[in-house]
Amino acid sequence: MKKYNFSAGPSILPEFTVKKTAEAILNLDGIGLSLMEISHRSKEFDAVIKQATERMKEILSVPEGYSVLFLQGGASLQFSMVPCNFLNTKAAYVDTGVWASKAIKEAKLYGEVNVIASSAGSNYDRIPTNYAIPGDADYLHITTNNTIYGTELKKDIDSPVPLIADASSDILSRPMDVSKYALIYAGAQKNIGPSGVVVVILKNSLLEKVKRPMPTMFNYKVHVENESLYNTPSCVGIYACLQTLIWLKDLGGLKAMHKLNLEKAGLLYDEIERNRYFVSSVANTDDRSIMNVTFIMKPEYKELEPKFQEFASSRGMIGLKGHRSVGGFRASIYNAMPFEGVKALVDAMKEFENQV
């Protein structure tokens, strides 16, 4: 039986990435050594990380004056690194979910944090609007996609202060105007590669704005100067990221990927709206994520949720259970999820409706 991985992360990877990485783990480019055992200072890995950096710049159209880093610690470490490097006196944050609130908690260790908007009062079922960005803030921090709640900010906003984005779960899903951002960070395990790598894209002119002493590993300038090689990086993870970037370019780049993602999400949301059992957990259609589709059983059918979970699993749908904060179901349909996978889920929903 064909299985489809709808897990929120670590999540599905392109078959191309899995195959190429598996081959390299056995024998990297025919050199007789495994990718897992080569030195990160070797010419072979130097070529890998340079290619990955250039591919990321090319696909995202990263402007001159920006650096691309492949670091460790995941997006969670960036919650601390960002304020350590950029928060002098006050920072502004938009609270749209668990990960945004965790970023806020870490930032408070470094200075004043002004939460200028939050949707916590409605269990993060929407993206806040109509908020004012303070002109004296050192930066504004946003989370572009909220995996748990199924909401997404689908456009690059204008900010009068440096804009910093956690784009972990929707990076590479659509074109982005990188020039609008001071820094973008993204854990790899959604749309780029396996867990263990975080991509950071930052504007070099903003480095060293803060003069506080900081641990060497927290200092972005150190990582820029050492081209992501200050310490031993995740060699296997970065190689896998490179393969995904090659796959993405061959597919047609971000415009083609965005078109496919809209088609996948549209198919699934249409079925949720049509099916008598289900309802989206995000009422505002403009805020519905195209990466993480969250839905629940209508109140009168709530008791059928375990039955549908079992039904879908029996038909090869893996990782559909919703986060405990929302309940119901969550279909993470990242870049690597094929249209056929979403169609298989929709077919299972229709079959369930007809049988129960």
Contact yes or no for 204/224 (Cβ under 8 A): yes
Residues 269, 262 contacting (CB under 8 angstroms) = no
Residue among 97, 173, 172 nearest 141 (CA)? 97
For 141-226, where are the alpha helices, taking DSSP H only? 220-225
With H, G, I as helix, E, B as strand and everything else as coil, classify residue 290. coil
Sign of the four-CA dihedral 58, 59, 65, 70: negative
> Which residues are CB-contacts of 284 (< 8 A; sequence separation ≥ 6)?
125, 126, 127
Under a CB-based contact definition with an 8 Å cutoff, are residues 228 and 69 in contact?
yes
DSSP SS3 for 274: helix
Q: CA–CA distance from 341 to each of 5, 12, 44, 346 (Å)?
A: 8, 11, 36, 9
Give the SS3 label for residue 235. helix
Q: Is 99 tagged catalytic?
A: yes
**Of the residues 95, 125, 138, 166, which is catalytic?**
166
Closest CA to 145 of 96, 196, 83: 96
Of 20, 190, 203, 264, the catalytic one is 190
Is there a catalytic annotation at residue 158? Answer: no
Active-site residue flag, 166: yes
Q: Which of 99, 125, 138, 287 is catalytic?
A: 99
- The residues assigned a catalytic role are 99, 166, 190
